[in-house]
Amino acid sequence: MISPSFISPNIKITDTITIDITGMKCAGCVKAVERQIIQQQGIVSANVNLITAVALVQYESSIVQPETLAQKLTAIGFPSQVRVIDEDFENPQEKIREKRRLEQKTQQYQLISAILLLIFSSIGHLHHLGFHSLHWLSNIWFHWGLATASLLIPGREILLNGWQGLWQKKPNMNSLVGLGTTFAYVASCVALLYPSLGWECFFDEPVMLLGFIFLGRVLESRARNRAIESLEDLLSLRPQFARLVGKINSNQDQGLEIPAIQVKPEEWVRVLSGEQFPVDGIIMEGETTVDESLLTGESLPVFKRQGDKVYAGTINNGDMVILEAVNTGKNTALSQIIATVENAQTRKAPVQKMADTVSGYFTYTIISIALLVFSFWYFWGTQIWSHLLLELDTSRTILSLKLAIDVLVIACPCALGLATPTAILVGTTTGAENGLLIKGGDVLEQVKNLSSIVFDKTGTLTQGYPQLENVVTFSQHSDKEILQIASSLEISANHPLAKAILNHANKLSLDVLPMESFANQAGKGVKGKLADDWFYLGNRSWLQNNSIELDSTIILQCEQWTKEGKTVVYLGKNSDLIGLITLSDQIRPDAKSTVKTLQNMGLDVIMMSGDQPLTTQYIAEKLGIDTYYGGLTPSQKSDLIAELQKNSKNIVAMVGDGINDTPAMTTAQFSIALNQGSEIAIKTAGIVLTTGKLKDVVTAINLSKLTLRKIQQNLFWALSYNLMAIPLASGFFLPKYQILLNPATAGALMALSSIIVVTNSLLLKNSARKFLN
């Protein structure tokens, strides 16, 4: 035990909370929220996600009160609430459904508002087409009333949020829209009250602008809902109920049906045919076949009997079984998969952090440009091109104001804010649907410079457990008889070699022989008597200890097998050797093709192992791997990764499955784990292959590259849009081509840019099909 005097008083105890946030509309909002959180004392880090409206905050528990943090966010215009994880887990589907119901109501309200605003604002432009017969609908006071009502009722939230952002020195998209609509409305009111000024009234522009804003948000929201459907589908796979039974006379107990999340470890649960397993557990009574396609992707059912493990969410295809709960609630394998997907969406790629930072300052830049545009046209532009005022039938003030408003509206940074999170959201959920858990955007971004991929041998390139490879006989006994005798001697053993022999005998339906007088010696072998004959099964020294000598030719052959990584089990009868059984950790069926594909992709494939160098060499040559290292300790594996990374341009990926691989996986820039591996390896990895198929390493790399490409496409579009839109809105083409946008058209273009970005992200699923199928 460490004495308290050795505990440093400077050690900071940190905790992590999740905060649900409403009111965020763009990347500027994200930056404002992050800035508000980070500036609080005791905050270690904060990640805010626009799509899921969630903030993941790491803080010093002795300083920060989570509820106080949420209250401060609410005070600056972002209503927030600390998420209680256990409550969220209790009924996640219902919470998401309720959220979506509220979202749908908001969508309906915004859609109706958009349609009405666009219809009535369009009426104000009918006179341009020669229609003058609508009487009072064309009256300027009607349009004043419409604009006033539009700003005070449907537009109220946008205006308040936008001006609040400006007041807090955290401007956002709503700030730009609010400035544009307010200036247009005020200028029109001045023109209406003081007609002698000769200004033009354009009450219809702010109304139409709000209409396009609402329409864009409806389409954008629907696109986002489609993007998170995969997560909702995963949540729906969680079993809801469990039938609890007592451990004594369990078959006579009718059972008590309780919520699955209330089952405790070590309690017994009955699962009927056709039902989902409610928890991860061990079968205590019965045998059945289980559909594990949910976790492994394999359509063939898996046979399970007493002592085998089953997982929550998989389906009992056979007879009724009783199992003892091991992992329940949020600790089940299925819940961990869901949690991984959720967490992945709160982890940002460095490119997204850059985009959020740019968006945060973007609003200030656009406001400055709008002021410059107004000043230029008011003081110089209308003087240089004075004929434009006559041709456009407008005044200097109105023209300058319109162009400034166009700049404010058309450059809203929505697309920039949506570029990264939508692509990551679709990429991670697409991966989860296909057995790939990508834990965050920061993982994705490492793939672009990937140069080397290092594989652990045992359990990664190989199956990780011994399998019977060959039976050799030296007597009148057939191969099946040798195996039958060996399995009868091992019937009660529980070590890996015994399991491999028994499994193979079961596959051949070999009966158990009535052995007597069992005796065994740990690490050596076992003996038993059948009729009048003694049989000995074990290693070479076990047979020699029991006076059975081996031929030198056989010894040389067995030594060669040992160099190839095979284990030899000897079977003797009385004083003679009658057979051999070789077992080996066999290479995964898809290992060679996976290695070849990665090499063709230009990656340097390396293998390392704690196994003896000769065995490592044999496996490497079988797989076509030129660089390999054997006999390594866990720390030496880590050192090897660090050595490969000395060249700063080298991005190294590590693929492993065991606890001994964890140091190397942590050292690598990013790591990949097989789901059958140890829990710590899975938690360390940036990507987890839940199907256990090694070829999914290639799929994970391809999906990561494709997702990153989508992010880059989105950012390119968002930035290119502004490079084209701002000159267009500022009147750059007005003198020569007389192209003049009105604020409503600017709003429509802004909404269209966001929709294009979200739609492009959704197309990622279609692009991924070529290598997911």
442-468 burial, b at 16+ Cβ within 10 Å, e below that, comes to bbbbbbeebebbbbbbbbbbbbbbbbb
Contact 691, 297 (CB under 8 A): yes
Q: Give the strand pairing for 280-285 and 309-310.
A: antiparallel
Distance CA 142, CA 470 (A): 92
What DSSP designation does 157 have? H
Contact 664, 403 (CB under 8 A): no
Q: Give the strand pairing for 80-82 and 14-21.
A: antiparallel
What DSSP designation does 260 have? G
Distance CA 637, CA 758 (A): 42
- What the block records as the tokens of 710 is 């989508």
Q: Minimal CA–CA distance to 81: which of 92, 69, 91, 94?
A: 69
Q: Give the strand pairing for 670-674 and 687-689.
A: parallel
DSSP 179-190: HHHHHHHHHHHH
Measured between alpha carbons, how far is residue 225 from residues 220, 232, 616, 762 in Å?
9, 10, 49, 11
| Per-residue H/E/C for 540-595 | HHHHHHCCCCCCHHHHHHHHHHHHCCEEEEEEEECCEEEEEEEEECCECCCHHHHH
Distance CA 220, CA 417 (A): 13
Alpha carbon of residue 666 to chain centroid: 19
**Cα-trace Rg, the chain:** 35
Distance CA 308, CA 302 (A): 11
| Per-residue H/E/C for 264-316 | CCCCEEEECCCCECCCEEEEEECCEEEECHHHHCCCCCEEECCCCEECCCCEE
Contact 486, 571 (CB under 8 A): yes
* Helix 696-729 × helix 743-762 angle, to 10°: 170
What DSSP designation does 462 have? B
Which residue is it, tokens 């493990």? 309
Measured between alpha carbons, how far is residue 528 from residues 158, 361, 490, 537 in Å?
85, 81, 10, 9
Q: Give the strand pairing for 604-608 and 576-584.
A: unpaired
* Residues classed as catalytic: 456
Contact 394, 200 (CB under 8 A): yes
Distance CA 624, CA 619 (A): 9
Which residue is it, tokens 């969680």? 238
Q: Where are the alpha helices (H) located in 139-203, listed in sequence order?
A: 140-152, 156-167, 173-193
The residues with which 651 forms a beta bridge, in sequence order, are 450
Distance CA 288, CA 30 (A): 51
The residues with which 324 forms a beta bridge, in sequence order, are 268, 282
Query: Amino acid identity of 633?
Result: T
Contact 671, 684 (CB under 8 A): yes
Distance CA 71, CA 304 (A): 52
160-194 burial, b at 16+ Cβ within 10 Å, e below that, comes to ebbbbbbeeebbbbbbbbbbbbbbbbebbeebeee
